[in-house]
Amino acid sequence: MFKFVLKRIGISLMILFFASVLVYGLVVHSGDPLADLRESNDQNRENRMAQRTAQMRLDEPWVVRYGDWLRGIAGCLRLQCDFGENRSGQSVNDLLALAAGSTIRLVLLATILGIVVGIFLGLMAAIRQYSGFDYSVTAIAFIFYSLPSFVFAVLLKEFGAIRFNDWLGAPTFNIIFVILVGLIFALFCQAIVAGTPKKRLLVGGVSFAAAVVILLVVDATNWIREPISGLWMPIVMAIAASVLFISLLANFGNKRAVLSVGGSAAAMLILVIVFQGQLEDPTWSLLGGLLIAGIVLAVAISQVFGGYAKRSITWASIWTVVSIGFAVVVDFLCRHWSDYIDMRGRPISTIGSESPNFRGADDFWLQLMDTSTHLILPTLSLTLMSIASYTRYTRSSMLEVLGQDYVRTARAKGLPEHTVMSRHAFRNALLPVTTIVAFDFAGLIGGAVITEKVFGWKGMGELFETALKQVDPDPVMAFFLVTGGIAVLMNMFADLLYAYIDPRIRR
């Protein structure tokens, strides 16, 4: 495996080298970096042209400039990268640090959400093949996959921000909206549940009633503007996550699984209660430390009480703890939601990655709220298109695996259906999807150029676009190196993940 990794690194570096030569040459020949000065009527025009020529070294062959840029990049081997300077003399290192942080935050969140939701929908569509759920998911996936990103981003700005902020001034639900949402939720739930028509009808009815009651309570309590928060959120999440992950990764018939996952959830809840005071104004290190402590406790409990199914139970416990941690963050954000509305007035932002001169910058949760509300729309724009591709690939891969002999053998041996799906079918179906994950992450960074333009983000897209218009190669090459490097790393990660998913590859 070590030789394999070294070989892949060598090949990847060669690919990046030849691609960098091509990109650098294309950029420097794509236009005239002095065009704006040539058209200027400024009396100091000639002097400014001479200064820019000296700054960008336009009097030297582009190959020489590329060689100097490459020597600066080679310094990364000594952890002293030098990406050069833009035409104004600013360090590209500093510009890249600001831009990459903004874009990676956006793309990483979109990738995680796209993977989780897309794989889940694709899995359920394959299991419920040719059902109403399957047809609905397929139709929606095709719509989002074919919809241009800039069109979808504009629609999100109009309906997800402008009109939503208008409605937030006096948020109320009319009865038609309540019934419509209830029907959609009921159709979704009954399509997921397998069984007789009577059972599905019962699930649909209960889901419809639950959705209607929840919306009516939210409307009556003005929960949209003043959400009722508290420990009930982590507790409800602990129960729901325990049920979900036990059913997916273990078995309710296994008492050790119920005991281990339930004990892990209880341990995490105890940690949250003990540190409740510190969580009022925490730091990222405190939140990360609590999550790590919860995971360590979950692993310890699962290893001691897990029995023969320690591995599956451990993963169920870990995901339950992570879900509780997410619920804690949502709980504290809800506690500060009304204060944030009072400060901002129109909380869902349509431009920028943060509010300039934000008054709540000293408060951890208000600052996180501001960052999150700026993330919502651009992340949703990238996520929904990513979900569409993951859904289609997962469904196709899962259907192919379900027709294999080893799946039929597992069923013939009398294994429970969830065991057949999770341990035999799903794991093998992940192999093709893993390849898509590797390409999608780097592809989303490229696609973020358009999304950042629509939402006014100062990220990698803005850095790339500005430099390309100015025929400024160093910032463009920084964009190329980040996206290309991520593509190489993600492909290598996919290769290593293959060996984890399929033990045959290790040999």
Question: Is there a contact between 107 and 444 (Cβ–Cβ < 8 Å)?
Answer: yes
- Average pLDDT estimate for 436-464: 78
Sequence-separated contacts (24+) of 160-169 with Cβ below 8 Å: 160/348, 160/376, 160/377, 160/380, 161/346, 161/348, 161/349, 161/350, 161/377, 162/350, 164/348, 165/346, 165/347, 165/348, 168/224, 168/225, 168/341, 168/346, 168/347
Sequence-separated contacts (24+) of 271-275 with Cβ below 8 Å: 271/297, 272/231, 272/234, 272/324, 272/328, 273/231
Q: So what's the pLDDT on residue 420? A: 82
Which are the contacts of 403, defined by CB distance < 8 A and separation ≥ 6? none
Q: Identify each DSSP E strand in 97-147 by its residue range.
A: none
Apex CA 436: angle with CA 3 and CA 20, to 5°? 65
73-77, 345-349, 433-437, 495-499: least confidently modelled range: 495-499
Q: So what's the pLDDT on residue 63? A: 92
Q: So what's the pLDDT on residue 330? A: 92
Altogether, the residues listed in the chain come to a count of 507
pTM above 0.85, yes or no: no
Which are the contacts of 62, defined by CB distance < 8 A and separation ≥ 6? 24, 25, 28, 29, 473
Q: So what's the pLDDT on residue 193? A: 67
Read off the pLDDT of residues 33-60 as tens digits, 9 standing for 90 and up: 888 888 888 788 889 889 888 888 888 8
Question: Is there a contact between 471 and 31 (Cβ–Cβ < 8 Å)?
Answer: yes
The residue type found at 457 is: W
Does residue 202 register a pLDDT over 80?
yes
Taking the CA atoms of residue 384, residue 388, residue 390 and residue 395 in that order, the dihedral angle to the nearest 10 degrees is 140
Q: So what's the pLDDT on residue 504? A: 65
The residue type found at 15 is: I
> According to DSSP H, which parts of 306-363 are helical?
310-335, 337-344
- Please choose, from the candidates 452, 363, 474, 506, the residue with its C-alpha nearest in 3D space to the C-alpha of residue 105: 452
- Average pLDDT estimate for 295-302: 94
Instruction: Show me where the domains of the chain are located.
Output: 2-94, 95-171+222-506, 172-221
Does residue 503 register a pLDDT over 70?
no
Read off the pLDDT of residues 103-146 as tens digits, 9 standing for 90 and up: 888 888 888 888 888 888 888 888 888 877 788 888 888 888 88
Helix axis angle for 310-335 and 232-249, nearest 10°, is 150
**Residue linked to tokens 């009097």:** 59
Count CB neighbours of 401 within 10 A: 21
The Cα 71–Cα 20 span in angstroms is 13
Q: So what's the pLDDT on residue 195? A: 65
Read off the pLDDT of residues 206-259 as tens digits, 9 standing for 90 and up: 989 999 999 999 888 888 888 888 888 999 999 999 988 887 677 777 888 889
Give the DSSP letter string of 111-153.
HHHHHHHHHHHHHHHHHTTTSHHHHHHHHHHHHHHHS-HHHHH
- Please choose, from the candidates 500, 420, 482, 450, the residue with its C-alpha nearest in 3D space to the C-alpha of residue 147: 450
Q: What are the tokens at 67?
A: 């060689």
Does residue 455 register a pLDDT over 80?
yes
Read off the pLDDT of residues 164-191 as tens digits, 9 standing for 90 and up: 888 888 888 889 999 999 998 888 887 7
- Please choose, from the candidates 293, 254, 299, the residue with its C-alpha nearest in 3D space to the C-alpha of residue 270: 293
Does residue 194 register a pLDDT over 70?
no
The Cα 454–Cα 449 span in angstroms is 9
Does residue 483 register a pLDDT over 60?
yes
The Cα 459–Cα 266 span in angstroms is 41
What is the average pLDDT score of the chain? 85
| Cross-strand pairs, 91 | 85
- Average pLDDT estimate for 273-288: 92
**Residue linked to tokens 């009633």:** 209
299 band by pLDDT with thresholds 50, 70 and 90? very high
Q: So what's the pLDDT on residue 502? A: 66
Q: So what's the pLDDT on residue 135? A: 83
Does residue 506 register a pLDDT over 60?
no
Does residue 360 register a pLDDT over 90?
no
Q: Which residue has the higher pLDDT, 379 or 503?
A: 379
Q: What are the tokens at 39?
A: 């058209």
